[in-house]
Chain A
Amino acid sequence: MTDTSDEPVPAGELVLSLRGVSKNFGAVSALTDIDLDVHAGEVVALVGDNGAGKSTLVKILAGVHQPSSGTISFRGKPVTLADPSAALTLGIATVFQDLALCENLDIVANIFLGRELSPLRLDEVAMEVRAWTLLNELSARIPSVREVVASLSGGQRQTVAIARSLLLEPKLILLDEPTAALGVAQTAEVLNLIERVRDRGLGVVIISHNMEDVRAVADRIVVLRLGRNNGIFSPDASNQELVSAITGASNNSVSRRAERRQARQDQTQEPRP
């Protein structure tokens, strides 16, 4: 285990806890009475249909939106996340869906963007060493940190984005659709990366539409439906259970196909009269 900071989080500690969080946009309640717990060294997947409130929840945690009611506790203490920098200083880092990297700058410059060492006389050597340390901790396969980001693959870019979010030694990292635009190999690479981040003792919240990815890395799956908690599942819950929790309907193509399969199996098992 690598020591992530001067003040290591004991494994399993409750990092983040939401109780009764609601968010209204005018007459629309985007989130109602959301409860969510994230422990250190745990990957929590947030799944739900379009408009279920996943992104709103992440934006509240990133400090972009403020909740209308409810409490947020971070490491046991109630906190208010007034703006993105408040969340960052607390130790909540967010990797947004569109990776927000500058393609014309190299990897070191991107990792340190906005947080350069010695602003009037950039300390390139120290920044390069730190960048390598971060990337090596993630076992990232980046050939050279002096390449511009434009030359990287999607998975490598995601790696850089995650490495950047780790620069401030966060305790919790939020990943919004980290595999949405990636190919098979890059997706696997990012999922590996998420496991390594978890193994460093960080709490991870990942939003994804891809049930396979969610099941591959998540320790718990939290389903949101129409802005409300709609069940917490273990990663070995069946697809049918998850889909019906997400859509709120037990009658859909997934369930129908499962029924048909079940029926066929029953048929073949039944001895013909």
Chain B
Amino acid sequence: MSREAEAAPVPPQLDRADVRVKHEAGIGGAIRRFFDRVRSGDLGSLPVIVGLVIIWTVFASINPIFLSSSNLVNLLFDCSTVGVIALGIVCVLMVGEIDLSVGSISGFASAMVGTLWVNQGWPVALAILAAVAVGGFIGALYALLFNRLGMPSFVSTLAGLLAVLGLQLYILGSTGSINLPYGSNLVNFGQLLMMPKLVSFALAAVPGIVMLITGLRTVARRRAANLSAPSTGGLVTRAVVITVILELIVFYLNQARGIPWMFGLFVGLVISMHYALTRTKWGRSMSAVGGNREAARRAGINVRLIYSSAFVLCSMLAAFGGVLSAARLASASQQAGTGDVNLNAIAAAVIGGTSLFGGRGSAYSALLGIIVIQSIASGLTLLDLSSSLRYMITGAVLAIAVIVDSLARRSRVSHGRA
């Protein structure tokens, strides 16, 4: 320790050599830095968290049942299905494109599982695999139209919305709806399967532990490389705070039925996507293509491949979300994936903070955004308000989210952070 203290002041740290940059140290510094960032328009997840607090306060004050653990558990079930679809939307928004057909693809996937599994007698795993594969195929088709024929994704996926809906109606045939057998593993997974309490507590501790271990390792490596490193104290504080919050949430939900495995699966997908987007070359290329396509091409990135990966991943996640919602509803019907599924998924990604302009977003925006949307839906259902009002309010929230996105973008431009 003492040797380090002697050696440190002699060569200035590589990234601290310039006197013009302010460096805030410690927890107070971290808080000040956070406010600086927000003021310059780099909002991150802040608007959605503030919005969530407002929405929850309003609904809880009108109807206390809203915040009861049993209602929140149901909320988590509902979040998982559309949330997986929203995760795919995050992918295409990252590269600055859009997929308007995710609802149709999810409905088609649920219809495929229904027909293949229930009507044709395929093994359920194979039926799910087939549905997801067909989803991927549709995505590959969009990518082909986009890359080779220069068809804007807005138009190709709008065409896909109709065409895939047609496919869904076609394979459902005249019956129009297939009931999935109650008691089967898939339906149990979608409606009943809960994590054992011990498992949920253990899993809630994992993020904090992983954060601490990787954080400490990074700090050690940065110190060895003569770079500035965050303080160990701050790291421990953050890990402890996150662990405590997660454990409290889990404890509260465990008062009722507990944490659905389906939600666990959704969160697992979100975390994997977050890792892929931030810590891999693929994720870096996605942001680069979304930010400046020509620059990415000249840097030697295979731009077409990146676009294809985004479209295929989005459609596959949409199909998988469709399978989950079929499990949740225990049926595959003509209504599956129609109505507000499409816009809820897109709205969730945007409300969560993924920019419509490309190059800026996070996998967590799917998680946060879908919680906002489902909270509104659940709160209004509890108030016994009609769906007409629900549509209007969800629309207003989406509009507010896009306005916040545009204003933040303008602020970033004026603060040189666009």
| A interface, CB within 8 angstroms of B | 84-85, 88, 96, 98-105, 109, 113-116, 119-122, 124-126, 128-129, 132, 136, 141-146, 148, 150-152
Contacts and interface: CB of A to CB of B under 8 A. Distances in A.
Given A113-B301, A114-B296, A152-B416, 18 more contacts: A84-B300, A99-B295, A101-B292, A102-B288, A102-B296, A103-B418, A104-B290, A104-B359, A109-B287, A114-B299, A114-B301, A115-B299, A119-B281, A120-B280, A120-B281, A122-B280, A125-B225, A132-B15
Contacts of A144: 15, 18, 21
23 contacts: A96-B298, A102-B295, A103-B291, A103-B292, A104-B292, A109-B287, A113-B295, A114-B299, A114-B301, A116-B281, A120-B280, A125-B221, A125-B227, A129-B14, A129-B227, A132-B15, A144-B15, A144-B18, A144-B21, A146-B15, A148-B417, A148-B418, A151-B417
B24 interface: no
Interface string B190-229: 0000000000000000000000000000100110011100
Interface string B334-365: 00000000000000000000000001100000
Contacts of A152: 416
Given A125-B221, A126-B225, A129-B227, A102 B281 contact: no
Contact of A104 (B225, B287, B298, B415): B287
B292 A109 contact: no
A58 to B, nearest CB: 14
B32 interface: no
Contacts of B15: 128, 132, 144-146
A80 B285 CA distance: 30
Given A113-B301, A119-B280, A122-B284, A100 B18 contact: no
Instruction: Determine chain A's interface SS by DSSP, over half rule.
Output: loop
B294 interface: yes
A113 B227 contact: no
Contacts of B290: 104
Nearest to A141: B18
A85 B284 contact: no
Contacts of B287: 102, 104-105, 109
B18 A102 contact: no
B279 interface: yes
Contacts of A99: 295
A114 B298 CA distance: 9
Closest 4 CB pairs of A and B: A119-B281, A104-B291, A114-B299, A151-B416
A144 B284 CA distance: 19
B384 to A, nearest CB: 45
Interface in B44-74: none
Contacts of B360: 104
Interface residues of B, number: 37
Nearest to A151: B416
A114 B359 contact: no
B218 A125 contact: yes
Interface string B378-418: 00000000000000000000000000000000001101111
A109 B285 CA distance: 10
Contacts, number: 103
Contact of A122 (B20, B222, B279, B359): B279
Contact of A150 (B21, B282, B417): B417
A52 to B, nearest CB: 24
B382 to A, nearest CB: 40
Given A102-B287, A102-B292, A102-B295, A150 B418 contact: yes
A107 to B, nearest CB: 11
Nearest to A112: B284
Contact of A101 (B281, B295, B300): B295
Contacts of A145: 15
Contacts of A104: 287, 290-292, 359-360, 418
Contact of A132 (B14, B221, B282, B288): B14
A104 B281 CA distance: 16
A105 B14 contact: no
B21 A122 contact: no
A116 B284 contact: yes
Nearest to B285: A114
Contacts of B226: 129
Contacts of A120: 280-281
Interface in B259-285: 279-282, 284-285
B294 A100 contact: yes
Nearest to B293: A102
Nearest to B415: A151
A272 to B, nearest CB: 61
Most buried by B among A141, A142, A143: A143
A124 B217 CA distance: 12
Contact of B300 (A96, A102, A115, A129): A115
B12 to A, nearest CB: 11
A119 B279 CA distance: 8
Nearest to B222: A125
B22 to A, nearest CB: 10
A146 B230 CA distance: 14
